[in-house]
């Protein structure tokens, strides 16, 4: 049977691959600890559950407008005003089935064949594949040093085919936060060169050590409807609602219209129940996000302390997300081989750094339970340091 060249060219999701092997081992009765996950273990906000339950009990669950319900857009407007300092209109918003679909809508709406998209390394595994799906060309930019590309690194990759720069701060997988100065300079660079700046803000409230992941809109000279900035957010990470699949984009009106057309043809609209649940989460936030953030910061501290006991690991402390991205190259420079060995010998799943574009590292999540974090790293230490 024919499979398109495009589909054949796509990589399989690294985490799904890891899950398959981990699940197979579990099925054999082995006590695998999964430190490769990408979602909080905490329960969803009570408001989200209540709103969803009420809708289902009401008996009517129908298509919604393609770009999302007015009720959810109203909450997103309030949320954006509070956390970004700009007030979008409803026609600047598309609610999607996860931030992932929002990013895809955007790429399909702005890329023509062979247009280039600059992606700083290390990157979220899906970015290059999504660019390829939109017929674009991913251009991977390695930082000259450390885990954060600088404006100079990024600028040197710009040419007349560059349409988009994708920035994720704090970053999956490194947990690093791009400095304010970098974001400000990138906004200026993109405005000057008419290049879109895709800000993937999905983890922007999960930052620690008193740091902030500033909104790019703060540095914009152009008004929102003429903006090169597109901001992506959602309830998956900050509200522990990954399974609801609700994300959104904030962008200029003309681009938003194009993104709505794309989404309407692909999936009609996001789930009505999930949108209602998201209204519940956003309208009754209370301390939910702050409690989640504080809990994750404590788990981050525990993971960092455990990792520091390994003799040859080098770690840049993560200041956001729920991932760490430590350099294990002194044990094995081949991260796939190391990850497979640790899964087999320590029964611990960690994602190979090469999947995020940077060899020699492992992405170890701290969204697992404290017991699993401690036990998982202890097992890794026993295998690698023999103690």
Ligand X SMILES: Cc1ncc(COP(=O)(O)O)c(C=O)c1O
Contact set with ligand X (CB under 6 A): 38, 98-100, 124, 168, 172, 200, 202, 234, 236, 242, 247
Q: Which is nearer to ligand X, 80 or 329 (CB)?
A: 80
Partner residues linked to 364 by β-bridges: 324
Closest CA to 229 of 180, 179, 194: 194
Buried b (16+ CB within 10 A) or exposed e, 240-270: bbbebbbbbbbbbeebbebbbebbeeeeebb
Q: Which is nearer to ligand X, 103 or 347 (CB)?
A: 103
Q: Which is nearer to ligand X, 124 or 328 (CB)?
A: 124
Give helix 99-110 / helix 126-133 axis angle, nearest 10°: 40
Give helix 272-283 / helix 70-84 axis angle, nearest 10°: 40
Least distance between ligand X and beta carbon 57 (Å): 26
Q: Which is nearer to ligand X, 319 or 379 (CB)?
A: 319
DSSP string, 48-97: HHHHHHHHHHHT------TT--HHHHHHHHHHHHHHHS----GGGEEEES
In the bound state, the residue with its beta carbon closest to ligand X is: 98
Sign of CA dihedral 232, 256, 138, 352: positive
Kindly report the CA angle at 180 between 174 and 185, in degrees rounded to 5?
A: 105
Q: Which is nearer to ligand X, 36 or 329 (CB)?
A: 36
Q: Which is nearer to ligand X, 36 or 98 (CB)?
A: 98
Q: How many helices (H) and strands (E) does the chain have?
A: 13, 12
Least distance between ligand X and beta carbon 48 (Å): 14
Least distance between ligand X and beta carbon 323 (Å): 8
Q: Which is nearer to ligand X, 280 or 375 (CB)?
A: 280
Q: Which is nearer to ligand X, 149 or 384 (CB)?
A: 149
Least distance between ligand X and beta carbon 178 (Å): 13
Least distance between ligand X and beta carbon 200 (Å): 5
Least distance between ligand X and beta carbon 194 (Å): 24
Least distance between ligand X and beta carbon 386 (Å): 34
User: How close are the terminal C-alpha atoms of the chain, in Å?
Assistant: 52
What is the rounded distance in angstroms from the CA atom of residue 339 to the CA atom of residue 345? 10
Asked if 304 and 208 count as a contact pair (C-beta separation under 8 A), the reply is no
Least distance between ligand X and beta carbon 249 (Å): 11
Asked if 124 and 173 count as a contact pair (C-beta separation under 8 A), the reply is yes
User: CB atoms < 10 A from the CB of 329, how many?
Assistant: 18
Asked if 358 and 120 count as a contact pair (C-beta separation under 8 A), the reply is no
What is the rounded distance in angstroms from the CA atom of residue 129 to the CA atom of residue 85? 32
Least distance between ligand X and beta carbon 37 (Å): 10
Q: Which is nearer to ligand X, 274 or 339 (CB)?
A: 274
Closest CA to 364 of 306, 323, 311, 332: 323
Helix, strand, coil percent values for the chain (each to nearest 5): 45, 15, 40
Based on the number of CB atoms within 10 Å of its own CB, is 158 exposed (0-12), middle (13-18) or buried (19 or more)? Answer: middle
What is the rounded distance in angstroms from the CA atom of residue 81 to the CA atom of residue 217? 11
Least distance between ligand X and beta carbon 265 (Å): 19
Q: Which is nearer to ligand X, 174 or 329 (CB)?
A: 174
């Amino acid at each position: 049977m024919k499979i398109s060249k495009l589909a054949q060219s796509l990589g399989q999701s690294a985490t799904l691959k890891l899950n398959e092997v981990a699940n197979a081992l579990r099925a054999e009765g082995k006590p695998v600890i999964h430190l490769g996950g990408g979602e909080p273990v905490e329960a969803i906000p009570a408001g989200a559950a209540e709103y969803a339950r009420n809708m289902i009990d009401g008996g009517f669950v129908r298509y919604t407008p393609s770009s999302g319900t007015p009720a959810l857009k109203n909450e997103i407007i309030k949320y954006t005003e509070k956390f970004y300092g700009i007030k979008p209109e409803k026609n600047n918003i598309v609610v999607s089935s996860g931030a992932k679909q929002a990013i895809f809508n955007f790429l399909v709406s702005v890329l023509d064949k062979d247009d280039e998209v600059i992606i700083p390394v290390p990157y979220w595994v899906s970015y290059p594949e999504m660019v390829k799906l939109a017929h674009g060309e991913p251009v991977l930019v390695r930082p000259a040093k450390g885990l954060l590309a600088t404006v100079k690194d990024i600028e040197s990759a710009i040419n007349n085919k560059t349409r988009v720069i994708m920035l994720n701060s704090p970053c999956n997988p490194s947990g690093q936060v791009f400095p304010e100065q970098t974001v400000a300079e990138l906004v200026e660079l993109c405005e000057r060169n008419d290049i879109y700046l895709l800000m993937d803000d999905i983890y922007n409230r999960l930052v620690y050590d008193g740091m902030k992941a500033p909104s790019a809109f703060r540095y914009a000279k152009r008004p929102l409807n003429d903006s090169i900035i597109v901001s992506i957010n959602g309830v998956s990470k900050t509200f522990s609602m990954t399974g609801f699949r609700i994300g959104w984009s904030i962008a200029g009106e003309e681009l938003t219209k194009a993104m709505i057309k794309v989404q309407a043809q692909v999936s009609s609209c996001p789930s009505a129940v999930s949108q209602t649940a998201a209204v519940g989460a956003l309208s009754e936030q209370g301390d939910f996000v702050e409690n989640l953030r504080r809990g994750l910061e404590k788990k981050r501290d525990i993971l960092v302390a455990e990792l520091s006991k390994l003799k040859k690991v080098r770690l840049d402390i993560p200041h956001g997300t729920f991932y760490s991205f430590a350099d294990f190259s002194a044990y094995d420079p081949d991260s796939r081989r190391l990850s497979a060995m640790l899964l087999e010998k320590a029964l611990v799943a960690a994602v190979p750094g090469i999947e995020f574009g940077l060899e020699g590292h492992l992405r170890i999540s701290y969204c697992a339970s404290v017991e699993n974090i401690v036990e998982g790293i202890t097992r890794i230490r026993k295998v690698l340091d023999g103690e």
